[in-house]
Amino acid sequence: MPEFQVLATSEDVARAAADQIVAALDGGARTLVLAGGNTPKRCYELLAAAEVRWGRVTVLFGDERCVPPDHPDSNYRVAKEALLDRVAPATVQSPSATRPSRRPTGSASLCRRCRARAA
């Protein structure tokens, strides 16, 4: 049965999440998939200050918007400012950072082609 924890403040949630991520990375995990939006921003700030061997961690994005990487709505921008500009991961793979001009319709078309090839 899953264990649930109710925390009093958003700061408590950010700290608990950062602590769990640090423990996973210290325990051998080498991939960190970042969530989108502003909700995880404080967690990313705490991770930036944590003692982590970032040089062996690959950072991926689990959620990104079809906007340029410097756009106010970009999840990449939030993560970059709160975490990535402060640490040196082995690799950062972001669709937005590598393809900032991709439009939603182009991405959908690419996804259909990839799925067709995989079938």
Ramachandran sector of residue 9 (left: φ over 0; alpha: ψ -120 to 50; beta: rest): beta
Q: Look at residue 73 in the predicted model and tell me its pLDDT.
A: 87
Q: Look at residue 44 in the predicted model and tell me its pLDDT.
A: 97
Q: Look at residue 64 in the predicted model and tell me its pLDDT.
A: 77
Give pTM, 2 decimals. 0.77
Q: What is the mean pLDDT of each run of 10 residues along the chain (119 residues)?
A: 87 96 96 91 97 95 81 89 95 65 60 72
Structural domain spans, the chain: 10-118
> How is domain 10-118 classified at the architecture level of CATH?
3-Layer(aba) Sandwich (3.40)
